[in-house]
Structures are given as structure tokens and as C-alpha cells.
Amino acid sequence: MRIGMMMKWKIPPPNVRVQNEALTLAAEGHEVHFLIEGRRGEPREETVGGVHVVRGVRMGRLGDIRHRYTFNFTYRDPVWTGAIDRFAKERLIDVLHVNDLPLAMEAVSAGRRLRLPVVADLHENYPAGLQVWYTNALKRATIYNYDRWSRYERAILREVDAIIVVIEEARDRLLKLGLGAEKIFVVPNTVSESTGAIRIDGDVLARYRGAFVVSYIGNFAPHRGLDTVIAALPLARQEIPNLRLVLVGDHNDGYRRRLERLVRDLHCGDIVEMTGWKSQDAIWSYIEASAVCLVPHARNPHTDTTIPNKIFQYMMRERPVIVSDCPPLARIASDTGGGLVFRWNDPAELARCIVELHQNEGKRLEMGAAGRRAVLQRYTWEKTSGPLVELYRRLASAKRT
């Protein structure tokens, strides 16, 4: 089949999940074409790992501003409408695969015009996400209004032919919306077996030698719970003289500044490092340098129904995890024996978890081994991508008939 994937955002930076899906489908013998936005100076077309990338949408600064407001009220954009039509016709696309909710309306409309099936690949609970990604109250009440986006989600998902979600809790949420189980496929946000072979940077390990490193890898944003982590440090450092918190990532300047103020207020600047963004290959060295790794997400309807790739990255490298009590995180940490769970807004309980693992090296090693064992047995991309492969086998079979 000729699969026409599309995604609203520019890449790079890479989206590991989307990359894994595209490469898996290409390896299955499908011809994968990927429509994305382009930046000035980038080639309009290129082939990456057997996937044909088409940067068929370009917007200047003013066009981007216009798009942001008109699109979030109407869920339509004439630039994308034309781009999808050209993309599907020129590439002789057999199925449209839209990544995440924003472009779903455009994909469904194109599917109707061109008589193509549409797959909606939902990376998260998007209406709930809009309420935690943005702090501006006016925007959350208007262009990112939860009720309006929820109505849009319910209506458009009834129109697609199949839905992909990242975790069982996300499937259960959609079932409660009245969507049929037969068209929902769970494809978790796991790691590839090949990531275990990435080279470790000895300079990173040397930098933290002698420290008890607790790390977090990923975006900085209020729903990530990093303020709770920093609030736990004054308690934890009383028992751990060589404690070091390493935060690898960024993304939200306002939230990062808020974290920096909190660090100053709590007089923890001597044990906190914010490294900024690192490449996908580089993050493995920071995980390797860590004694414990964190997924401290604040609980809300968004984080209660999604799973970050980082928990599987940590476990792949045999690092015990400490996670908040968001249901998917707590379930995986508990079921695998790979880590501890704390109440999401309780710095004292998080501090106790950190101290417990510091004081019990045997437990750290046991949890790290259990986590890696679970990943290799159940949570590699090669093992969890089966529903994606099966979905496209069904679509290919339906096309032949």
C-alpha cells in the first residue's frame, strides 16, 4: 500500500514514535510518504530510511499566526487542504494516516473527496493537553477551549476508519466516548531494541562520577511535575550529601524560569543542573550516569491517559524509576517491579522514595534488572508494534477486495 502520513509540525526535532511507525511500515513492504511542514533552506523532498518525506507546506511568520487562530476556531486551513490533495493525488496514496488530532478534519475531508480510508493516530488526549500545555487563561477559554475541542474530537473520530492510541488507558477513554473497540488499536510508545547498542559518552559519566544522580529527560512544562521534584530536594539532600539533580531538556522558557526561581528560593542551585536539549543519542549517556530516573508528571486528564517514551528508555538501561501516580505510569512501574510510585503533588513522599533507593543499592539493582527484563520481554517497539502491522494488513486486504 501507499501510505500517506501527515503531521502538522515541522521535523526535526525527530518524533521517535512517528519515526518508528514509518520505518516499521516501510519494512513491511508498504510505500510510506510523509507530508510535513518545511523550513527555509530544507529540501522539498528527500528519502530517509526508505520513507519519502515531502515538505509540502510552507508558512511564513504572518501565515503561521493567521493559521494558528483561524485553524483553532475552524479546524480547517486552505494551505493544508490544497497540500493534502496534491500530496494524495501525486503520490497515488491508498490510505491517509494523520498524526494527532489537529489535522484530522482535513484528513477526513480529503478521504471523502478521494475515497480513501483514514487512520487517526492519537499520541495523547489532545483536548486535555491544551489545558496543560498553555498557561494563558484567555487562550484556554477561547481557541483552546476544552469543551469545544472535546466535541470536535468526538465528532471527527466517528468519521475515521481506524484509531491508534498509545496506551490501554487511552483506549478505555475512547470507549467511554462511545467509539467502537473494533477500530481502536493500542500501539504503545516503546523503545526499539537497537537503542541498547548506542555508544555511551565517557565524558558524561566522568562528569557525574561520585554523585548520586537523579535525572529527568524530556520537555519542561507545568504538567511534567518538575516543580515537585525541586521541592523534594531540601528533604532528600539531608540524607544524601552527594545528591545531584540533572534535568535534560527544555522547551518552555516560562516554566524553566519558574523552576530556576524555585531552585534559588530553596537554595538548591549547587545540586541542580539544567543541561538544555541533547540529541537522542546523547540522552542515553545521561541515563547511564544516573542512579535513579524520574517521570514525575502532575496528574490530570491528559497525563492519566498517555505514556512517555522515557520510562521505557530508563528501564532499557537498567535504571530504577520513580514515577507519579498517573495510572499508566503507576501500572507499568508496579507491574514490572521496575520502580516506585509517589503521589504526584507530594514532595515529601518523592523525597522518601529517592532516599529509599539511595540507602538500598540492592533494591536499585533489583528494580533496574526487573525493568530491563520487562522491556525486553514486553515493551520493545518490535514486540508492541504488532497491532500497527495488523491494522495495515487489514487495510491492504480490504483494498484488494
Which domains does the chain carry? 2-187+385-400 (3.40.50.2000), 193-379 (3.40.50.2000)
Is 195 or 319 the better-scoring residue by pLDDT?
A: 319
245-304: pLDDT as tens digits = 999 998 788 899 999 999 999 999 999 999 998 888 899 999 999 999 999 999 999 999
Q: Which residues does residue 100 pair with via DSSP β-bridges, in sequence order?
A: none
Task: Please give the C-alpha separations between residue 95 and each of 1, 91, 316, in angstroms, as whole numbers.
Answer: 8, 11, 34
The DSSP code for 249 is B
Strands (DSSP E) along 199-306, which ranges? 212-217, 243-248, 272-276, 292-295
Task: Name the pTM for this structure.
Answer: 0.93
Among 321, 340, 339, 350, smallest CA distance to 227 is for: 350
In the predicted structure, residue 13 carries a pLDDT above the cut 60: no
- Average confidence (pLDDT) over 220-232: 95
- Average confidence (pLDDT) over 308-329: 96
| pLDDT-based confidence at residue 193 (cuts at 50, 70, 90) | confident
Contact 121/107 with Cβ under 8 angstroms?
A: no
Please provide the average confidence, as pLDDT, over all residues in the chain. Answer: 93
Percent of the chain predicted with pLDDT > 90 = 78
- Average confidence (pLDDT) over 372-393: 96
Helix crossing, 104-114 with 146-157: angle to 10°?
A: 30
- Residue 14: predicted pLDDT: 61
Q: Locate cell 504572518: which residue? A: 62
Question: Cell digits for 188?
Answer: 504503545
In the predicted structure, residue 50 carries a pLDDT above the cut 80: yes
Helix (H) or strand (E) holding 142: none
- Residue 321: predicted pLDDT: 98
In the predicted structure, residue 341 carries a pLDDT above the cut 60: yes
CA–CA gap between residue 81 and residue 305 (Å, rounded)? 30
Question: Cell digits for 291?
Answer: 542512579
Q: Locate cell 516501510: which residue? A: 26
- Average confidence (pLDDT) over 312-316: 96
CA–CA gap between residue 37 and residue 27 (Å, rounded)? 24
- Residue 338: predicted pLDDT: 98
- Residue 186: predicted pLDDT: 98
Q: 92: burial class by Cβ within 10 Å (0-12, 13-18, 19+)?
A: exposed
Among 305, 304, 250, 311, smallest CA distance to 276 is for: 250
Q: Which of 13-17, 154-158, 393-397 has the lowest mean pLDDT?
A: 13-17
69-127: pLDDT as tens digits = 788 888 888 889 999 999 999 999 999 999 999 999 999 999 999 999 999 999 999 99
In the predicted structure, residue 12 carries a pLDDT above the cut 60: no
Contact 320/357 with Cβ under 8 angstroms?
A: yes
Helix (H) or strand (E) holding 345: none
Maximum pairwise Cα distance, the chain: 68
- Residue 35: predicted pLDDT: 95
